[in-house]
Structure formats: structure tokens, C-alpha cells
Structure 1
Amino acid sequence: MIRTATVHDVAEIHAMIRELAAYEKAAEQARATEEQLRAALFGEHPAASVLIAEDDTTGAVAGFALWFPRFSTWTGTRGMHLEDLYVRPHTRGAGHGRALLAALAAICRENGFERFEWVVLDWNEPAIAFYKSLGAELLEEWTVCRLTGGPLEELAALAPPVAHRAR
């Protein structure tokens, strides 16, 4: 079963984010707290949405998908960015990942989103094979860029004042 997450799922979402970070060999980078997730997902201006996969027989949480809208200047339309897709190892192979992605694709269709995009680590062969089996195109000519910490602060320090005009 796939359902929309509620504020009562925050602890479980937090636990799965930490499990995913450990799998991706980056546990130390997963610093988000439950309080931050609660505010980001269920506060006044939610930053993202989450779907939960539950095991049909036990009702236990099997996985989650966290996504948010994006915009393409090329198509002039909104799209979806999947930030995290995670299915717990002991529940893999039961169709939870496929069900989560299908539910997200349905959200795209319902909202007129023309693109559904995400990133995958180049060493994660099982995930890459799974995504290819669904018809996903791997855009190998694109490279993800990221600024954090000192470089982000240094660039921000160079910013000129930004004028805010009434719309």
C-alpha cells in the first residue's frame, strides 16, 4: 500500500533517511533532525512531500519517496524531483519501489508535470538496472554540481545587493 506521509511518520522517515545514508556510505552527512524534518515536511510552507510504502501483510513501513516540484525553463512546465527513494533491504523485491515510483508518476500526470527526475550514484548498479527496467534514461552527459560549507559562504560573500521590486 502507498499512502501520503503524516506528521506521525517523521520518526520513521528520519530512521529511513539514516539507513539510506549508511547504504550510500555517507552516514556522517545525514545530519537532519526529526524536528527539522517535521518543520520542512509539515510546517506552514512544506519544502517537500513524502509517500510511504507499507507492507501489505504486516502494515510495517517498507520504504519512502521524498519529492518536490521543480521548473523547466526549456519546457515552461513544472516537473518533479525525487530526492530520496528507499526500500528497506528485508522488504526489497516485493514491488514497493516500483509502487512508489508508479505513484509518483501518477502525481506527475495529474499535475501536468512533463519531467520526473532524480539522481543515482554511479556505483549503485542494482538501482541503475531497476531504473533502466522502468524506461528511465540516464543522462550521462550531465554532472551534478554542489556548493556547501566554506565555498558556499565565500561565494555568498561576493553577492551584490539584490533589489526587490513590487510585482
Structure 2
Amino acid sequence: MAPTPSAVHLYQLTLRRDAPEWLPRPKSGPWQNSADAWRELRGVADRPDAEGVQFDARGCLSEGSRSSFSWWDGECWNFPSVETGRLPGTASAQLRSVLAQAGRPVRDVSWPGFPLNAQSVLVLRSTFDGGAVPARSYHAEGRLTWQPTGTQAEATRALALLAAWRAQRCISFA
């Protein structure tokens, strides 16, 4: 498994997120859309610290080619709603739960386009150390269109909460 990057660069993909594929379909197999998104990302940015951004048929932010997203808009933590076709990611569910338990505001949204008003975007993946890393930039149509703003205090706090929760998990056979 590749090491966890310190931050991730996001790239807009043209492939739209279709309905989640729970069972294999003839001629496509499970997760065909995710595999196609991964191939498109490799054509745009073939590097370990890159992630593709997919939108649903309505143009709402859905998920990444391998990751889920959450963003802080200055008032609330936002997560793409199930209506966007996003898959139920483990790291996303963990972050949402940890933030809610800490009293931070969270909501599911169908956000049109990329949240350019976001102060911070987190890239969530269960294989990342700590479960998430911050997004460093967002590129659409070959140009930089977003970067985080401010001190990133809220994102740093969220990352620390998630990492602490994941570190204290244990299995008890008693």
C-alpha cells in the first residue's frame, strides 16, 4: 500500500457518477464507474497525491475516484448526500460521527459543482493513516480553481479528532 500523502491535489473528472453498483452487471462487473474514474484520473494526473472529483448527473459533488470528501464552509461540515450516488465510505462515516460527538455542525448536501466557498476540504480514505488528509488544491479544465483559505484550524481539529478516534479502536475477545 502506498504511503499516506500529507495533502492531496484534486482534479475534476468528466465522467459522471452513476448509480452505485452493488451487484455485478453483465459486461461491466462491480464498481465499473469507479474503475473508469481511476483510469481517467491517471490520464489527467498520474501521481500518488492526486484524486479525481466526480459529480452526479445533476452536476452535484459526489465523491472521488478512491475517496470521499467533506468540507468546512466556515459554519458547518458538509458531506455529499446519498442522492449524489456517493458510496457509503467508512472514513466518511467515522468523521461524521466523530464531528457530531464533538458538537461540530454536520449536514448532508447536494452541492452544485465544487464548493469553491470551502475554507477546507478533507479527502477521506480508510487506507490513509488517520483516515483523512487535507486537499491542497482543486483543478478544473487544466487550471487551478481552488485552494484552502485561512489557518485551517477547523480542518486540523477535525483531522486530530478522527486520528485519535481511529487510534483508540480495539478488538476485545472477552
Greater strand fraction, Structure 1 or Structure 2: 2
Structure 1 length-normalised TM? 0.30
Structure 2 length-normalised TM? 0.29
Higher relative CO (CA 8 A, sep ≥ 6), structure 1 or 2? 2
Greater helix fraction, Structure 1 or Structure 2: 1
